[in-house]
Structure 1
Amino acid sequence: MSDLLQLQGVTKRFGGLTAVNDVSLSVREGQIYSLIGPNGAGKTTLFNLISAVFRPTSGSILFQGQDLTRMPTHALARLGIARTFQNLAVFKHETVVNNLLVGMHSHLRSDPFSSALFWGRTRREELRARDRVEEIIDFLEIEDIRDHPVGTLSYGQQKRVELGRALAISPKLLLLDEMVSGMNQEEREDIARFILDLKDELGMTVFMVEHDMGIVMDISDRVCVVNYGSKIAEGTPSEIAQNPAVVEAYLGTKRSAA
């Protein structure tokens, strides 16, 4: 399989602070790729660079060979890049179904006239969007809460809805930022299972920032470790777990969550 995402010498400076320092990495199609490191290591900044929240000071970010460094954030969805956030970004007063429909927005192409009359292309797009939402509801096993306002759900359920909204655009690359943070053990295991199913059943590529080392080591194909903004190691989970530089910088003597 070919490289889907490539970072080449990416650096980000905020004034005199270098948050990301000359990082290069490649994520191949169909991989689960994890980015780990201590708090303040530059992980979220790197994610924000990939999702065009920030622009790099230097270096390039390529998605299927296309440079993302000058692209607006809203354009990424149509390229096939979706992201969840460490802090919930759901519409809490809307139902689960309506939250998922919001994720379909990037696929809509109807003109205002057709939309006003709800005919032709608009009607076909609406039906396709609702079919896609039903598929996501089945996949994430949230049929019983589909009509509930998201704000009334548990934290873990809300995170599942946020994942569903990201899936609504049928992404080629799914960016997961601290997906299981704040969840109990059962919820974490469910999310890990969903991520594996995304790869195995749908062939989706997943790039995740994660602190839960159990999940990282269990489901990742490849792991990249950053510390003080620099990449210090990359390899398979077993290689990373045995890397002395990683053990010293992050894992410590025990493979526990940071």
Structure 2
Amino acid sequence: MSGGQYLIELSGVSKRFGGLDALSGIDLQVKSGEICSIIGPNGAGKTTLFNMISCLLPPSAGSLRFQGEDITGMPPHAMPRRGMARTFQNLAVFKHETVMSNILTGMHAQLNTGIFGAALFWGATRRAEIAAREAAEEIVEFLEIETIRDLPVGTLSYGLQKRVELGRALAMRPRLLLLDEMVSGMNQEETEDIARFILDIREERGITVMMIEHDMGIVMDISDHVAVLNFGRKIADGTPAEVSAHPAVVAAYLGLPEGAVGGQP
């Protein structure tokens, strides 16, 4: 990693759609082992930022580095093998497949078996399949979904489906996990469970987490680092305490001019 410190670095990253500047000149560095939250009002550019980090969108300007490697303009299918996994704001599970089958799909990017080995199911292919199933079982236990492992995902509650999607992302064995509004639509108990899992993912698995989140409770409780976007620009970057007291952040969330905060004209 660059200087042995940052897992991901964005330098002057911008994205333009026709005449719209969705993001402008974003500089952001995330250290290995951090939980970093990206927050901001609707339309601030948060998901566009994630789409560029995961290489679903190329930047119009600027560069991105992951584990010291320049990933600017790389195809998205290259990211899982490099150690990046993602969940999406809208559920993207295979609803007619079982919980275990959904999690096993996340293993595919890490398997290196050939056509003949897969057809014959012997040797390295057999060993890789056994190892993948063992890893999937461990994820099922980690996420406390043993009792539903063989159920079709479409029969589960929304909160459990989101947990399955998280399990599939973990099955990719990422160094960096991108979570896009993971707790959106969840009740308080489900939100607390996800917060606990995110902390355990960092502490027990050593995975760096970046998350887009509107729930300020979970952001302030578990984040090490918060970056705030508004109208496509980064307006604050720091600890949760520093960001929550920043005048520009208060103004953005209240819909006021920055100078109006704190009684200023």
Question: Per the shorter chain, which TM-score range?
Answer: over 0.9
| 1:37 aligned onto 2:40 | yes
Deviation at 1:227, TM superposition (A): 0.3
Other-structure match for 2:113? 110
The unaligned stretches of length 5 or more in structure 1 are: 254-258
Distance in 2 (CA, whole Å) between partners of 1:66 and 1:12 is 21
SS, match of residue 169 in structure 1:
coil
Local SS of the residue matching 2:193: helix
Query: So what's the TM-score if we normalise by structure 1?
Result: 0.96
Q: Deviations over 1:79-99 (max 9, x none)?
A: 000000000000000000000
In 2, distance between residues paired with 1:252 and 1:196?
Answer: 32
- Residue 235 of structure 1 pairs with residue 238 of structure 2: yes
Tell me the alpha carbon deviations over residues 71-112 of structure 1, each in whole angstroms, 9 at most, x when there is no partner: 111110000000000000000000000000000001111111
- Deviation (angstroms), 1:65: 1.3
* 65-74 vs 115-124, which moves further: 65-74
Residues 2, 161 of structure 1: CA spacing in aligned structure 2 closer, same or farther, 3 A cutoff?
A: same
Deviations 1:22-61 (A, max 9, x none): 0000000000000000000000000101111110000001
Residue 179 of structure 2 is aligned to residue 176 of structure 1: yes
**For residues 203-242 of structure 1, what are the structure 2 equivalents within 5 Å?**
203-242=206-245
* d(CA) in 2 for partners of 1:40, 1:27: 22
- 2:263 corresponds to which residue? none
Aligned pairs for 1:140-159 (under 5 A) are 140-159=143-162
Work out the percentage of aligned pairs sharing the same amino acid: 67
2:94 corresponds to 1:91 = yes
Gaps in structure 2 of 5+ consecutive residues:
257-265
Question: How many residues are aligned here?
Answer: 253
- The answer on 1:47 being equivalent to 2:50 is yes
Specify the SS of the correspondent of 2:174. coil
What secondary structure sits across from 2:165 in the alignment? helix
Q: Which residue of 2 aligns with 1:256?
A: none
Secondary structure at 1:92 match in 2: coil
Q: CA deviation at 1:200?
A: 1.2
Question: What TM-score do you get using the length of structure 2 for normalisation?
Answer: 0.94
What is the alpha-carbon distance in structure 1 between the residues aligned to residue 72 and residue 200 of structure 2?
A: 31
- What letter corresponds to residue 196 of structure 1 in structure 2? L
SS at match of 1:166: helix
Aligned AA (1:107): Q
